[in-house]
Structure 1
Amino acid sequence: MGAVDVVSAPLAPLRRAVLEGLRDGPASATELAARLGESRQRVNYHVRALERDGLVELFEERARRGCTERVVRATCHAVLVEPSVVGVLPEEQDRFAADTLLAGGARLVRDVAAARTAAAERGQRLLTFAIEAEVGFTRPADLERFADALADRVAELAAELGPGERTYRVLIGGHPA
């Protein structure tokens, strides 16, 4: 998410409850209100706000008791807030800081989403790769030694392969499992 007002939308308790209520599937404001013990009007107000911000979308309209009932669904199951929304990271970053990992992850999500959309518009598939592993460390110094060795090996592999026509950004990060 890239705007402060949109970021704050799902943080309101009732809006968060509405989004959680939509995890099980599409629902109307009336159905959500019954589950949440709130008035239909109050829930509908928050559903409309979430819809305006792109966090829910119209799924279907049903004729019900002479009225049209709107059924909505969540557009996502998780929200990643772009770090630039909540503050800019300093130019020089500690590679062992959680903020540095989060900023890299946010950039990865933003860049891959944009590249996937562009590839789809061209009728192509976006070629990516992902590698996951769990590694154990006894002491913090072991983590630092591992990160240094990994960075050295990635640099060696890049040098072996030489410059190519297609540049890839490689993000390697770790966090406690």
Structure 2
Amino acid sequence: MRDIEEIKAISHPYRIEILEAFGDEPLSAKQLSELLGEPHAKINYHIKTLLNAGILDLVEEKVKSGIIEKYYLPKAKMVVIDKSILNSGVDSNVAQTLNQASISLFEKISDDFYRAAENNEIQSKHVRHYNQYYLTEDECRELMDVLAEKLGEILKDKDKRDRENVRPYNITIMGVPDLRREKKMKK
């Protein structure tokens, strides 16, 4: 993503969920509504936002029983915010938008985690937590870049649903400043 309007469009956890519902085949608002168990009108509203921001493409229109059904696909398989936005002189509006996008993503991840935990689907082998590492901002960014590159290699072609014995997993890596500990260090 290179545009602040694109980032604003995904600054809603539900839109992230819509994007994640897509596989390789186009989906209609009706299909998304059924997949996500949400009202058709709600799906349509969010699809229009994603379409207007250029995140979704309208790839096909079919007439079914006299009704035009529109089919969409995301323009990209994953959402990545271009470094040029992060490295540019970020004004407070851009920073607020980036923070809201991050919060939306975290809320989506949290919902997925709690849902899996409530269904006894979280296993300790699936969760890694490393704390009390003291890094500069550049070191943290470098670590995240290296991990993203390695994960990209490992996960290449792992988005295929038709393989045997697969289930969907969300993989999350976060470098989050520990502000409580930092505050204690400054005292």
Give the TM-score normalised by the residue count of structure 1. 0.49
The structure whose RCO (Cα within 8 Å, separation 6+) is larger is: 2
Q: Flag the structure with larger Rg.
A: 1
- TM-score, reference length from structure 2: 0.46
